[in-house]
Amino acid sequence: MDPAEKRISLIIAELKKHYPKPKCQLHFENPFQLLVATILSAQCTDVRVNKVMGGLFKKYKTAADIASADQHVIEQEIRSTGFYRNKAKSIIGAARLIQQKHQGKVPNTMDALLELPGVARKTANVVLGSGFGIAAGIVVDTHVKRVAARLELSEHAEPEKIEQDLMGLVPKKDWIEFGEWIKLHGQNTCKAPTPKCGECKIATLCPSAFKIQ
């Protein structure tokens, strides 16, 4: 085992110990609800999205319901998540394509998901990993981007390149959980702008520990 492999295995072991049962923090009952929630989560907290989703899916039960909804009405119902016009357009567009091309069911391949409006690799990875249990990649959100940089797991700024770096380091069996471990670590300990290095379980494995003020 080379030094990089050894370090990532130690990081994974510590995170697994600290967050033994990580799971997606968005509330959902099926892959379509998860898809909508993930689109809404852009530049918005999971807590806020979960509040909005509760009301949204009492009214709209299926992709067909969203597909036939009035965009202006949806905009007002999701307004508090921010960027509500673009998000409403995306979720209605995605619902319509799911109806037209996938018989009302969310597709479970990366290529098909990426064809949906408002869906990039991060959203597709969330849906595949948490909705279907399929490890097609690693979710890279703002927390993962920040923590990966501080751990020097990637020197890139673009999410797609960070993901490729992480996929080259992390064993595939850990891909789904790794994104959740790092997200939780970023939310709870490796915060922006100032990390809590004194409380960090992986500080001894982090080149940036105690160097960020």
122 annotated active-site: yes
Q: What is each CA distance from 180 to 54, 57, 174, in whole angstroms?
A: 22, 25, 10
Q: Which residues contact 207 (CB under 8 A, 6 or more apart)?
A: 150, 151, 152
Look up residue 55 and give its two tokens.
């009301």
**In 10 A of CB 203, how many CB atoms?**
17
Degrees (nearest 5) of the Cα angle 145, 146, 151? 100
Q: Which of 87, 141, 145, 183 is catalytic?
A: 141
141 annotated active-site: yes
Return the SS3 of 194.
Answer: coil
Q: Which of 87, 122, 145, 183 is catalytic?
A: 122
Rounded to 5 degrees, what are φ and ψ at 54? -55, -45
Please compute Rg for the chain using Cα positions: 18
Residues assigned a catalytic role: 122, 141
